[in-house]
Amino acid sequence: RQILDDELAHLGISLKEAEKHLLPRYNFNELEELLAAIGGGDIRLNQMVNFLQSQFNKPSAEEQDAAALKQLQQKTYAPQNRRKDDGRVVVEGVGNLMHHIARCCQPIPGDEIVGFITQGRGISVHRADCEQLAELRSHAPERIVEAVWGESYSAGYSLVVRVQANDRSGLLRDITTILANEKVNVLGVASRSDIKQQIAPIDMTIEIYNLQVLGRVLGKLNQVPDVIDARRLHGGVNPRQ
């Protein structure tokens, strides 16, 4: 019964409406017979959902997910309380030497950071717990410099969030709804489905302005039904200018 209720909720169809179509479709007289067939695996859930969608002329869950994602990616949200600053990062003792955000760990305001003097590319700014930084430190400790975030900043920082979830219809739509409500810019999404494990890993590249916003977004993503874990990945791309 719960399986059927969940699918009907995603489709926006009442049980009474569905019953009128499903009982004659599968040659049952009573709802209990239909529920037993679903629970016993005699009726494939995806076929039942496709049938209901055709009867009620509703887009599939995949089509709804794609539409929600497209709409979200077309929106660009302005950050709240955004202030302008010529320098996002202050590096101690090196004057006006150019600096850039390291791709390997993609720090954002709020992360503890450390600078590394590169050859010809100025200073790369890493998270203090970056594995690549530890490797650089072991080979050239003299190139390590202290770095802190400026008091204000205007650049958005791109990072990747991975969501591990039990695969179900409407999952991506639920996730994108949270991002839209939080006014988070989505720069890209890569999702795949592990049929054997019935797990759906979703990697989303999003634009974040500080660690507090990221924490709030991850907290809400972890509350989505069927989400097993949502966390920030170390990799990413350079900050948007």
Domain assignment of residue 191, yes or no: yes
Domain assignment of residue 23, yes or no: yes
Domain assignment of residue 239, yes or no: no
Encode the chain (241 residues) as per-residue pLDDT tens digits. 777 788 888 778 888 888 888 898 888 888 888 888 888 888 888 888 888 877 776 555 666 666 666 665 566 655 544 434 434 677 776 666 788 889 889 898 889 999 999 988 889 999 999 999 999 999 999 999 998 887 655 567 888 999 999 888 788 888 988 998 888 888 888 877 665 667 878 899 998 888 888 999 999 999 999 999 999 987 544 444 3
Beta bridge partners of 190: 203
Token digits for 189? 């999404």
Helix, strand, coil percentages (3-state) for the chain, rounded to 5, are 35, 25, 40
Question: Is residue 162 located within the same domain as residue 222?
Answer: yes
Q: CA-CA distance, 72 to 186, in Å (whole number)?
A: 7
Question: Is residue 219 located within the same domain as residue 114?
Answer: no
Token digits for 206? 């999003």
Question: Is residue 98 located within the same domain as residue 67?
Answer: no
Q: CA-CA distance, 125 to 184, in Å (whole number)?
A: 24
Domain assignment of residue 240, yes or no: no
Token digits for 95? 């004057």
Q: Report the 10 Å Cβ neighbour count for 237.
A: 15
Question: Is residue 100 located within the same domain as residue 196?
Answer: no
Question: Is residue 25 located within the same domain as residue 110?
Answer: no
Number of domains comprising the chain? 3
Question: Is residue 224 located within the same domain as residue 171?
Answer: yes
Using the Cα atoms of residue 116, residue 186, residue 216 and residue 210 in order, give the sign of their dihedral: positive
- Provide the whole-model pTM: 0.57
β-strand pairing of 123-127 with 99-101: parallel
Q: CA-CA distance, 86 to 142, in Å (whole number)?
A: 27
Question: Is residue 186 located within the same domain as residue 214?
Answer: yes
Using the Cα atoms of residue 165, residue 169, residue 172 and residue 173 in order, give the sign of their dihedral: negative
Domain assignment of residue 38, yes or no: yes
Question: Is residue 218 located within the same domain as residue 166?
Answer: yes
Domain assignment of residue 33, yes or no: yes
Give the DSSP H or E segment for 121: none
Domain encompassing residue 20: 2-58
Question: Is residue 74 located within the same domain as residue 46?
Answer: no
Domain assignment of residue 54, yes or no: yes
Question: Is residue 118 located within the same domain as residue 141?
Answer: yes
Domain assignment of residue 238, yes or no: no
